[in-house]
Amino acid sequence: MVAPSTRKPAKKAVSSPARSNGSAEAVAPVEAPKKKAVTAKAARPNTTRAKRGNPVEAEPVSVAAEQKSKRVKKEKVVRDSFTMPKTDYEKLGELKQKCLSAGVAVKKSELLRAGLLLLEAAPLAELLDAIAAVETVKTGRPAKPSHPQNAAQ
């Protein structure tokens, strides 16, 4: 049989050791101040509309504040997987080495994106020729060998 588990009692007020004046006093545990819940209305900045007919003067904006507001947000990245022949995958390595010999470190994803830029800038006839030159491969992961011992023989 399994013995029933017992819960530990909750923390309660603890009596503190005697103070320097000789008195002892119970001290309640200190709770963290509770944060107010932010409502949708409170989260929005206070925007008041000017009444019709009353022109509203714009406050001068400093150059530094203007530059901060014009910052471009980083584009979200998408993670995806794709299938390509081994020879094409090896070409990525060769192109990486070519860039390294020129003093530029590049990642495989950057090479693929550079290729997209080149294809995008190419005339339609060249794009269609490049697509026709690429062989079609079966999508998905390659099949694993059924028995490694049989594959070695």
In a domain, 96, yes or no: yes
CA proximity to 109, closest of 126, 128, 95, 129 = 95
Structural tokens at position 14: 């603890």
Is the pLDDT score of 130 beyond 80?
yes
Q: Tell me whether residue 80 is in a domain.
A: no
DSSP label at residue 44: S
Q: Is 119 within the bounds of a domain? A: yes
**How much is the average pLDDT of 130-151?**
79
Q: Which two tokens stand for residue 144?
A: 């694993």
Does a structural domain hold residue 98? yes
Residue 38 falls within a domain, yes or no? no
Calculate helix-pair angle for 108-121, 86-101, nearest 10 degrees.
90
Residue range 61-98, pLDDT digits in tens: 555 656 666 777 888 989 988 888 999 999 999 999 99
The whole-number average pLDDT for the span 42-55 is 53
Asked, for residue 63, whether it belongs to a domain, the answer is no
Is 0.75 surpassed by the pTM of this model?
A: no
Closest CA to 88 of 135, 138, 128, 127: 135
- 50 falls within a domain: no
125 band by pLDDT with thresholds 50, 70 and 90: very high
Instruction: Please count the structural domains in the chain.
Output: 1
Parent domain of 102: 86-133
Residue 95 lies in a domain: yes
